[in-house]
Amino acid sequence: MKHTSSIEVQRVSKRYTDDPEVAPALDDVSVSIRHNEFFTLLGPSGCGKTTLLRSIAGFEQVTSGSIQIGGQRVDQLPPYKRRVNTVFQNYALFPHMSVAENIAFGLEMQGLERSAIPGRVKEMLALVQMEHLARRRPAELSGGQQQRVALARALAPRPDVLLLDEPLSALDLKLRKEMQVELKRVQQEAGITFIFVTHDQEEALTLSDRIAVMSAGKILQIGTPNEIYERPQHRFVAHFIGDINFLPGQLRQCPQNGHLFRPDGIPVDIPCANEANARTGIAQLAFRPERSRLVDPSEPHHLRGVVEAVLYVGTATLYQCRLANDIKVMLRESNEGATSARPVGSPVAVHLPPHACLLMEA
């Protein structure tokens, strides 16, 4: 019987040095990854994504904590005894071998019967749609094709888990988008767990079943792309995933309206619907530029400001506005059916629907 969870990381810390001045690369990290999940580790450079991936693979020894794969504790096992495989950023294909030979490499060592190897190679070539290029050498392939071979080679031994460390970062933007679609398809067809590392938030949102957002060796939030985008629980997460505005102020309970937020220095009460994390007192209100609405400045009860910069981005126009108390915000207005651009210097008022308001601790 398969375990419901594919990978259990429990209270893992990793220090590369004994120097207490140096912060640990992983600081008490716990995460459960499910079978067949496309799970992404997302965060800025140096936050510990690769260290966590390498610890699961067995290339790094953890300093404390435990790692289980398919119910078996593996943190003391060497990499080849863990049923995981890794796709590296630089593909690491063997240049003197054909595509088919690259994919076959390792199958014999893994103990697969010699007679079964051609069949497995063919199956993998079909999975990544490379049957017609089986005899080529890596140097005769495009970047995207090389990426497919690396993927097929890593999947050939049928690992329980595939670890992918920024596998698309060497590709140009258009190819990268195509390969994102491919990766997702291959993951679903192969039916295995993918743990994917990226610092690209858009890539993470598009591909993942769930995302862990990391910063400074810690996991700050784990959730579906929608939860991470719509309900960030930390300022860092909110900021890292897409554009967002923050207003400092005071939150108070209101018998009729749930919570009201009063921005510092702005005499407006903003009703907030998302009070799950709310604590009254000093707080921050965050909102996405596209969730606010620009309204007629003569309407009362709205945040008021002046347009300082206009950025046309095709489908929408972004307005950088200055509100009272010198607060700058970015607002977004769809160009579809928009009357006309609001020039620099024009007064604006901003309506925040209660569901657009994200409350965070200051």
**Which residues of this protein are in contact with ligand ATP, per CB under 6 A?**
16, 25, 43, 45-51, 199
Whether the Cβ atoms of residue 162 and residue 84 lie closer than 8 Å to each other: yes
Distances (CA, A) of 4 to 111, 189, 214, 262, 299: 27, 19, 24, 46, 54
Which helix (H) or strand (E) element contains residue 298? none
Find out whether 277 and 233 touch, Cβ atoms under 8 Å: yes
Query: Helices marked H in 81-195 — which ranges?
Result: 99-104, 117-127, 143-155, 173-190
Least CB distance to ligand ATP at residue 214 (A)? 7
| CA 95 to chain CA centroid, nearest Å | 32
Give 205 or 283: the residue with its C-beta nearer to ligand ATP. 205
Pairing state of beta strands 258-263 and 210-215? unpaired
Using alpha carbons, select from 50, 49, 359 the residue that is nearest to residue 212.
49
Closest approach, Cβ 201 to ligand ATP, in A, equals: 13
- 16 versus 88: smaller Cβ distance to ligand ATP: 16
By beta-carbon proximity to ligand ATP, the closer residue of 43 and 305 is 43
Min. distance of Cβ 48 from ligand ATP in angstroms? 4
Nearer to ligand ATP (CB atom), residue 49 or residue 342: 49
* Minimum CB distance to ligand ATP, residue 17 (Å): 6
**Phi/psi at 148 (5° precision):** -65, -40
Closer residue to ligand ATP in complex, CB, 58/263: 58
DSSP state of 292: S
**CB 195, min distance to ligand ATP, A:** 13
Is the separation of the CB atoms in 155 and 78 below 8 Å? no
Radius of gyration of the chain (CA): 25
Contact 344, 280 (CB under 8 A): no
**What's the min distance (Å) between Cβ of 74 and ligand ATP?**
19
> Which residue lies nearer to ligand ATP by CB, 46 or 242?
46
Nearer to ligand ATP, 51 or 147 (CB): 51
The minimum distance between CB 115 and ligand ATP, in angstroms, equals: 41
Q: How far apart are CA 50 and CA 300, in angstroms?
A: 51
